[in-house]
Amino acid sequence: MCRGCFNPLILHKDCFEGGSDRLFDHVAASPTRRNFMAYSVAAAAAAGSVSAGRAAPAADSGAEVIFKGGKIIPVPGAAPVKALAIGGGKILALGSESAVDALKTKNSQIVDLRGRILMPGFVDPHNHTVLSALIFELLTDVGYTKFPTRGQLLNEVRALAARTPPGQWILCSNFDNLLQGGDLSREELDGISTNHPIFVWYTNGHDACVNSLALKVTNIPDNIGALPGGGHFGRDEKGQLNGLVYEESAMKKVLLPALPKITPQLAVKAVSDYLRSVAAVGNTTVHEPGTLRSDWITPFAKLSSRLACRTSASLMYDDMKGIEPYRDLGLGAKATQLPNSLFSLYGIKIIGDGSNQTETGAQTLPYLDTDNSGSANYDAARLKQMVAEVKAAGLPVLIHCNGDHTIDISLDAMEAAYGGSTSNGINRIEHSTMARPDQIQRMKKLNVQPSFLMNHVRFYGAAYRDQIFGPERAAFTDPAGACVKADLPFTLHTDSPCSPPGSLALVSTAVTRRCDIDSSTIGRDQAVTLDQALRAVTIDAARQIGMGNRIGSLEKGKEADLVILEADPYKTEPAKLGAIKISETWVAGERKYSS
């Protein structure tokens, strides 16, 4: 939801005690050629097991847990069943109570659903897990969903100042200038405090605002000029610094001195807390596209079995060689979790353009009332070369594309490299915000699938219609309905930290096409059914990360990843689906969250 998913400044090496390569260092060491063979030998066992250190039970050993007394949905669109049995982290049986009760032993735990709904756990196929965790650990969230008005936002920052000792930093994140009253200013923040340096990070990840004391304590001179990579400090009509800070090279000068050093212990706490909050909204799996680094893979995998969610990742194109030591463990279409973990690898991420909110997504037509069409991060020839290298490495590619021009050149590159093959896994267009009807048809032909950030419609639908694209183009944003007509699978994601975790809220918007800002409907004909939207956060999302054979539906032999809801989504008003309370989440047969 920003110029390039989100600026990963907080993952800069200078933010970490001892360097970023030691982020999870106390958990385990990175792989070497010496221990690689041990990893490979263990892979076969991992593929057959379900969770860290747990073997599947023998066929006659009976059920560890039996669920009954409610509505059990094996996969959205399928007829419900009455009971489900799990053991060794896997689903042993589902069907009638009498059939499942045949697996009951004296040691079986019986979970009475008490009329609740049990279904496959939700999969978020684009969630920046480590980045989100650290941002929410180190900065206070002042975003729109918590403080929808300017007054509420400023009151929160004022309250932070009141309870913070003078001289200490006030660090905030997730401010949305489109939804919370326009840009902040130095004067506005000075009005809150002149005794605390204040830093407020925008939700786009590339902009921030600071007060006068922040400029002073970080030694920003009045005559500071442009910095590498587009970094600069904003100025008012008189040429004075106005507190706005743009791009990484400028933000480094004010944020890095303000942040406490990130230790491995802090990182583990942050990730654990964040994934617990994600499990609380029903997610049993999250896929991290590009912000988990290759030198974190082994220690993160070791940590993963202690986390509340199953985790998965794709690496950035520039880090592609880092995936080599894990190749024999299964990637892409044959993705499998790393040994003794709940973590798997998938493919390679490329960031093709920017954001529609900042008018940096690359379009074939200009933004509304401008001559600006945005720009792609790579020209067509370079992108084609990059995708060819991903294909040559035997991996699937995920390309961030908010604008339709970037989708054009990305599909060109995918066609040249892969044809329509999915032998390496499903190739994905991330966000696909402004995909045209002909591009949906072309994706179908090339077996490429889109993943939609449906919170674009939820939060920015009115702005797209009135300020950014105009009514006709806005009506075709995140065109899930067109995918249904083309028989093209699609998924829904949050892109956290750019929008809040919660798959049911995505489902609600996909069904209603409702913009929360003014309660208007954006592109009614792009609405989908509840079954179609739920599949986009369960089985279809699992397939998009190479795990459709293991998770995403409740089937005998699959892993026991499930969620229990306190209300039936099929009997809930569509606009209220996101408010359904999650009662429990189970991952690999273990209860990871209970309300």
CA 281 to chain centre: 13
pLDDT at 516: 96
Give the CA diameter of the chain: 80
* Average pLDDT value for residue range 375-400: 97
* pLDDT grade for 375, boundaries at 50, 70 and 90: very high
CA 563 to chain centre: 19
Mapping DSSP to helix (H, G, I), strand (E, B) and coil, where does residue 276 land?
helix
* pLDDT grade for 483, boundaries at 50, 70 and 90: very high
Asked if 425 contacts 546 with a C-beta cutoff of 8 angstroms, the reply is yes
CA 196 to chain centre: 33
pLDDT at 20: 72
* Average pLDDT value for residue range 144-159: 96
pLDDT at 329: 86
pTM of the model: 0.92
Q: Is the pLDDT of residue 42 over 80?
A: no
* pLDDT grade for 334, boundaries at 50, 70 and 90: confident
Strands in 88-190 per DSSP E = 90-95, 109-112, 117-120, 122-124, 140-141, 170-175
pLDDT at 335: 84
pLDDT at 10: 79
d(CA 160, CA 255): 18
Average predicted confidence (pLDDT) for the chain: 92
* Average pLDDT value for residue range 266-272: 96
d(CA 250, CA 467): 28
Q: CA triplet 220, 224, 226: central angle to 5 degrees?
A: 125
Residue with tokens 């003794």: 340
Q: Is the pLDDT of residue 46 over 50?
A: no
* pLDDT grade for 7, boundaries at 50, 70 and 90: low
pLDDT at 13: 80
d(CA 39, CA 467): 53
pLDDT at 26: 62
d(CA 95, CA 205): 48
Between 3 and 182, name the one with better pLDDT. 182
Q: Are strands 170-175 and 198-202 parallel, antiparallel or unpaired?
A: parallel
* pLDDT grade for 191, boundaries at 50, 70 and 90: very high
Partners of 123 in the β-ladder: 285
Share of the chain above pLDDT 90, in %: 85
Q: What is the pLDDT of residues 498-554, one digit of tens each?
A: 999 999 999 999 999 999 999 999 999 999 999 999 999 999 999 999 999 999 999
Q: What is the pLDDT of residues 417-444, one digit of tens each?
A: 999 999 999 999 999 999 999 999 999 9
* pLDDT grade for 32, boundaries at 50, 70 and 90: very low
Q: Is the pLDDT of residue 40 over 60?
A: no
* pLDDT grade for 54, boundaries at 50, 70 and 90: low
Q: Is the pLDDT of residue 44 over 50?
A: no
Q: Answer left, alpha or beta for residue 523, where phi above 0 means left and psi between -120 and 50 means alpha.
A: left
Instruction: Please give the DSSP secondary-structure letter assigned to residue 328.
Output: G
* pLDDT grade for 6, boundaries at 50, 70 and 90: low
Q: Is the pLDDT of residue 35 over 50?
A: no
* Average pLDDT value for residue range 164-190: 96
Both tokens of residue 196? Answer: 């605390």
Share of the chain above pLDDT 70, in %: 92
Between 253 and 248, name the one with better pLDDT. 253
Q: Is the pLDDT of residue 60 over 70?
A: no
Partners of 119 in the β-ladder: 563
* Torsion 312-317-323-328 (CA) sign: positive
Residue with tokens 């996909």: 510
* pLDDT grade for 49, boundaries at 50, 70 and 90: very low
